[in-house]
Amino acid sequence: MAVFNEKVNIRCIGIDEASVFAFLANEGLDIFDPKKEYVVFPGFCDVHVHFREPGFSYKETIATGSKAAAAAGYTCVCTMPNLSPVPDSMETLALQLEKIEKDALIRVIPYGAISRGELGKELADMDEMAYLVCGFSDDGRGVQDDEMMRNAMLKAKALGKPIAAHCEVNELLKGGYIHDGVYAREHGHRGICSESEYEQIARDIELVRETKCAYHVCHISTKESVELIRKAKAEGLDISCETGPHYLVLCDEDLQEDGRFKMNPPLRSGEDRAALIEGILDGTIDMIATDHAPHSAEEKGRGLEKSAMGIVGLETAFPILYTHFVKKGILSLEKLSELMHKKPLERFRLPKGKDMCIFELSGEYSIEPDNFFSMGRATPFAGEKVYGRCVLTVMDGRTVYKA
């Protein structure tokens, strides 16, 4: 094994070196260049993706989404329930599970909906779905009714599953579609205020205090959200949260008049971005999730105001984070592995398996959406120069992607 290590510059992070080299000895050395540097991680996990099946296969499918994930080093993803039909019962969930069983290259574990049709009026059949889902969410919309969220938390607590909340107060949105900040005011756009996010987080923290439910906040984007969650954790409440690579790297000053810069929640201010980075560093933010949300070219080609909300993120996540944070000495590779592997698996009690992914770190390349395996192409990082290219992904000892 030592000889193999001398031939190729490979560093293992959070994974047993002997098992890695034993696998690679059988796999062969054709993917490696002795002049380059490689790092091996356990397979990544993304607890927030949209694979669009059933109902919207013109945007993405289980097959294309899982292939994109595998090509990005992911061996486990959790799919959100804003589908058609919404997985709010065993009957509707089964349609998604059949597609996963047939087409998924990696572990694809769905969320069940909190409410029927994600309409916030009546609880979904949470009992019958619980053993097949990673948790419950009405992602894409916040649960507006306090009593509905309280009942959902009590049910999830009894079932031993987390609630993953998209936090958004509808009455505060006022037709906004980007952050209510400098760019919106200077360019005549309607803004989404930060309160629309953090006010619902504040409400839910009170409900967690009452119900003792395991509660996870999706895609936080504001400095107030970070502080609320920091204080709740200090109190000992069972709360976790995620943010996305785009919120850590970009702010509303980077916006362009292009649909690939439109997502929900929106890119916030520079102060918000700095607070999110601080939250990553001090452990307030537990994990990084991409909110991979593919749309058709037509849906994303209508400018900031009229394009659909959402960007793709799986195939850009590691290179963006490695280039902007590890190479600059802000994060260690060990911390990045924790954010992309350890914490999401632990929080959602997901299977680990004999998984790994290998990235080549030396060569610079441009992010080219036309080369994505995902059907989605909209990313604010198009054309950016980055480091960190996935060359191999292995799940349960089986190669699912090889460059």
Given a contact cutoff of 8 angstroms between Cβ atoms, the answer to whether 380 and 253 are in contact is no
396 is catalytic: no
Cα-to-chain-centroid distance, residue 60: 16
Domain residue extents for the chain? 44-352
Bridge partners, 49 (sequence order): 79, 292
β-sheet bridge partners, residue 399? 394
Provide the whole-model pTM: 0.96
Give the separation between CA 318 and CA 336, rounded to whole angstroms: 9
> Is the Cα dihedral 293, 297, 303, 306 positive or negative?
negative
Tokens representing 333 are 């590779």
CA dist 296 and 184 (Å) reads: 25
- Among 351, 379, 356, 354, residue whose Cα is nearest residue 366: 379
Q: State residue 22's pLDDT score.
A: 86
Q: Choose the catalytic residue: 46, 88, 180, 291.
A: 291
- Give 300-336 pLDDT, tens digit per residue: 999 999 999 999 999 999 999 999 999 999 999 999 9
Q: State how far the Cα of 227 lies from the Cα of 216, in Å rounded to an integer.
A: 15
Angle at 80 between CA 350 and CA 399, to 5 degrees: 50
AA identity, residue 176:
G
pLDDT at 3: 38
Alpha carbons within 13 A on the beta-carbon side of 279? 32
Class of domain 44-352 (CATH, top level): alpha beta
CA distance 232 to 229: 5
Tokens of 15: 């994974």
- Residue ranges of alpha helices (H) inside 169-244 are 182-187, 195-211, 223-234
Per-residue pLDDT of the chain (403 residues; tens, 9 = 90+): 333 456 678 899 999 988 898 888 887 667 788 889 999 999 999 999 999 999 999 999 999 999 999 999 999 999 999 999 999 999 999 999 999 999 999 999 999 999 999 999 999 999 999 999 999 999 999 999 999 999 999 999 999 999 999 999 999 999 999 999 999 999 999 999 999 999 999 999 999 999 999 999 999 999 999 999 999 999 999 999 999 999 999 999 999 999 999 999 999 999 999 999 999 999 999 999 999 999 999 999 999 999 999 999 999 999 999 999 999 999 999 999 999 999 999 999 999 889 999 999 999 999 999 999 999 999 999 999 999 999 999 999 999 999 9
pLDDT digits (tens, 9 = 90+) for 141-162: 999 999 999 999 999 999 999 9
Joined together, the tokens standing for residue 356 give 């790994």
* pLDDT computed for residue 332 by the predictor: 97
The answer to whether 282 touches 297, Cβ cutoff 8 Å, is: no
The predicted structure's pLDDT at residue 1: 32
The values of phi and psi at residue 55, to 5°, are 115, -35
Residue 45's DSSP bridge partners are 76
Structure tokens at 267: 């890119």
Q: What gap in Å lies between CA 17 and CA 332, rounded to an integer?
A: 19
